[in-house]
Chain A
Amino acid sequence: MTSGLINTGALVKMLYSSLLASIGTAVVFAAAILGAVRASDMRRANRSAAAVAYAAVATVGVLVVVAVIVYGLLLIARK
């Protein structure tokens, strides 16, 4: 299983995949919240086009977070 030498490949994989996944999902989810809050503000200000655009940002953000989680779990389960 191990050669006795440090398995740098696995460590690097753990490093970049966990950093990418955690920072990436946090940023995208924050963008989704930004979209949802701004969409609500724009609706109140009767700016329909901007409201729709921000709502789209919120929806895409949530979908991306869910997709990343499902993809990550599938990747782990398939190994």
Chain B
Amino acid sequence: MSADIILVIVVGTALAFDFTNGFHDTANVVATSISTRAIGPKQAVVMASLLNFAGAFISLKVAATIGQGFVDTDAVTTTVVFAGLVGAIAWNLITWWLGLPSSSSHALIGGLVGSVVAAQGFAAVNGGGLLDNLIIPAIIAPVIAFAAAGISILFVYRIVGNLRPGPVSRGFRHGQLISGGMLSLSHGTNDAQKTMGVITLALVANGDIAANHFHVPDWVVISAASAIALGTFIGGWRIIKTLGTRIIDMDPAQGFAAQGAGAAVILAASSVGYPLSTTHVISGGIMGSGAAKRLSAVRWGVAGNIVTAWVLTLPAAGTIGALTYAVASLFGSGAVGPILITAAMLTALAAAFARRIQRAAPAPSTP
């Protein structure tokens, strides 16, 4: 009974993580299409939500990597998965508060590894798997997106450079319906699978699925797809309101090249099972298409922030995950620890939102 309660908390927390992932990443997925006026904001958000949902059904290789590639499944308990998720969510909230462009995916894996280390020691971590499936692809993928977008835009300008700009821009705006759609689809494919992998890992830990017969149940796929799509949809409405400050200045051809490169890299990574930071890949594509036109067009400071956040994310989320596991263990192996931690997190979140709303409220007018 106690284990089932923890499992329910883990599934709820994982889906909440998935929702926030979609919520945060809407801007990355739709901003390029909207800024080049390829599609209206409302249509872009609806399309992104639907394609994020559809993308979650395309492949399950990333889910398998998350579930089997980084930690020894025998060493994982539902409390370990819970602590890992808390580490990821807490680090995401901290970086969101500080304005650092961190990766939800790296936070998730960092949190999980940290809690496993706290529970079973370093021997339960597959160091080779981390290097092979996370760290090296994390370094290489944004560079590939940068190069692919840069080379693409150089070819594109060479082919259409002498044509009338009006029809060319119109053509690439139409093309962005496809490249933007592919980017949304690829985002759903890679990011929703991370939640599927974590929930399945919890099901293995709870004895619902045999470790040697790792498979993602249909209800997990559908719920993860729904959570990320809903997050994308709701996050999108928030983005529309603040769009004026967030758009990226680029022409439709650059937008097409950046989105195409991002989608191609994420889909290629999904096909071999690499859980990438979609934020970093999309940023790499945008910078590549900007740099090919003019080096000074790229906000290199943003690139520096990404590197800083990337270096910090794994150890920081891991430390929070380990601390969470240590606190949960103080209450024994039952559901008391996870219940208390969840209650504390929800209280802290409610207090933070209340404080923010209070600050945002207009001061009463004086007579």
Q: Is A bound to B?
A: yes
Q: Chain A interface (Cβ within 8 Å of chain B)?
A: 1-7, 10-11, 13-15, 17-19, 21-23, 25-27, 29-34, 36-38, 40, 65-66, 69, 72-73, 75-77, 79
Closest residue of B by beta carbon distance from A38: B163
Closest residue of A by beta carbon distance from B272: A10
A-B contact list, 15 entries, CB within 8 Å: A4-B127, A11-B137, A17-B264, A21-B267, A22-B152, A26-B257, A27-B152, A29-B172, A29-B175, A31-B159, A69-B182, A73-B267, A76-B58, A76-B189, A79-B61
- Distance to closest chain A CB from B67 (angstroms): 9
* Residues of chain A with a CB closer than 8 A to B40's CB: none
The residue that A22 contacts in the complex, of B149, B168, B274, with Cβ under 8 A, is B149
Closest residue of A by beta carbon distance from B152: A26
Binds A, one of B31-39, B139-147, B234-242, B320-328: B139-147
Closest residue of A by beta carbon distance from B159: A30
Q: What is the CA–CA distance of A65 and B61 in the complex, to the nearest angstrom?
A: 25
* Residues of chain A with a CB closer than 8 A to B167's CB: 33, 36-37, 40
- Residue tally, chain B, CB below 8 Å to A: 57
Q: What is the CA–CA distance of A7 and B172 in the complex, to the nearest angstrom?
A: 37
Closest residue of B by beta carbon distance from A17: B268
18 new A-B pairs (CB below 8 Å) besides A2-B126, A19-B144, A77-B58? A3-B128, A4-B126, A4-B127, A14-B274, A15-B144, A18-B148, A22-B149, A22-B261, A23-B152, A26-B152, A26-B156, A30-B156, A33-B163, A33-B167, A33-B175, A69-B178, A76-B271, A79-B271
Q: What is the CA–CA distance of A13 and B144 in the complex, to the nearest angstrom?
A: 12
Closest residue of B by beta carbon distance from A73: B58
- Distance to closest chain B CB from A73 (angstroms): 7
Q: Judging by beta carbons under 8 Å apart, are A22 and B148 in contact?
A: yes
- Distance to closest chain B CB from A14 (angstroms): 5
Q: Give the 3 A-B residue pairs with the shortest CB-CB distance, closest first.
A: A4-B128, A26-B152, A33-B171
Q: Judging by beta carbons under 8 Å apart, are A2 and B159 in contact?
A: no
Given contacts A22-B261, A22-B264, A26-B256, contact A14 B137 (CB under 8 A): yes
Q: Let me know if B155 is at the binding interface, CB within 8 A.
A: yes
Q: Let me know if B132 is at the binding interface, CB within 8 A.
A: yes
* Residues of chain A with a CB closer than 8 A to B253's CB: 30
Q: What is the CA–CA distance of A40 and B160 in the complex, to the nearest angstrom?
A: 14
Q: What is the CA–CA distance of A19 and B131 in the complex, to the nearest angstrom?
A: 23
* Residues of chain B with a CB closer than 8 A to A22's CB: 148-149, 152, 257, 260-261, 263-265
Given contacts A14-B268, A75-B271, A79-B59, contact A34 B160 (CB under 8 A): yes
Q: What is the CA–CA distance of A29 and B265 in the complex, to the nearest angstrom?
A: 18
The residue that A18 contacts in the complex, of B65, B159, B261, with Cβ under 8 A, is B261
Given contacts A22-B148, A22-B152, A26-B260, contact A37 B163 (CB under 8 A): yes
Q: What is the CA–CA distance of A31 and B127 in the complex, to the nearest angstrom?
A: 46
Q: What is the CA–CA distance of A77 and B206 in the complex, to the nearest angstrom?
A: 29
Closest residue of A by beta carbon distance from B64: A1
Q: What is the CA–CA distance of A1 and B275 in the complex, to the nearest angstrom?
A: 14
Closest residue of B by beta carbon distance from A14: B268
Q: What is the CA–CA distance of A30 and B155 in the complex, to the nearest angstrom?
A: 8
Q: What is the CA–CA distance of A79 and B73 in the complex, to the nearest angstrom?
A: 23
- Distance to closest chain B CB from A71 (angstroms): 12
* Residues of chain A with a CB closer than 8 A to B182's CB: 69
Q: What is the CA–CA distance of A40 and B166 in the complex, to the nearest angstrom?
A: 13
Q: What is the CA–CA distance of A11 and B141 in the complex, to the nearest angstrom?
A: 9
Q: What is the CA–CA distance of A3 and B160 in the complex, to the nearest angstrom?
A: 47
